[in-house]
Amino acid sequence: MNDNDLKSTSRTNWEKVDSLTDEEIDVSEVPPLDEGFFARARWRFPVGYATVAVPVDPDTLSWFKGQGETAVEQMTTALRIYADAQKIRKSLRKKTA
């Protein structure tokens, strides 16, 4: 990733997305959420913190702050989800190698 990747802007029409009603959103490719999904689901809350200074681009920081008072917790949770996904991805790669 280079600096240009971080500065690129989305071409998504977010005003259109925000204006969609539930009925207008196409969920035909989303599998149904059965009991198995909920049995495997788990809350993701940080159990402790290490305070670090991390540079965050202004747009990302602004978006998280726009989510309300829980911006820091949401950023921490997003990082945890990403780290967990990378661990799973690495594990799956080892199994197929």
- The answer to the question of residue 1 being in a domain is no
Higher per-residue pLDDT: 7 or 31: 31
- The answer to the question of residue 2 being in a domain is no
- The answer to the question of residue 84 being in a domain is yes
- pTM of the complete model: 0.46
- The answer to the question of residue 3 being in a domain is no
Q: Are 64 and 75 in contact (CB under 8 A)?
A: yes
- For residue 65, what are the contacts with CB-CB under 8 A and spacing of at least 6? 71
Residue 47's nearest CA partner among 21, 27, 68, 73 is: 73
- The answer to the question of residue 36 being in a domain is yes
Q: How far apart are CA 76 and CA 79, in angstroms?
A: 5
Q: Are 45 and 78 in contact (CB under 8 A)?
A: no
Whether 4 shows a pLDDT value over 70: the answer reads no
- The answer to the question of residue 5 being in a domain is no
**How many folded domains does the chain comprise?**
1
pLDDT tens for each residue of 40-61: 888 877 677 788 898 999 999 9
- The answer to the question of residue 71 being in a domain is yes
- The answer to the question of residue 87 being in a domain is yes
Q: Which domain holds residue 81?
A: 10-96
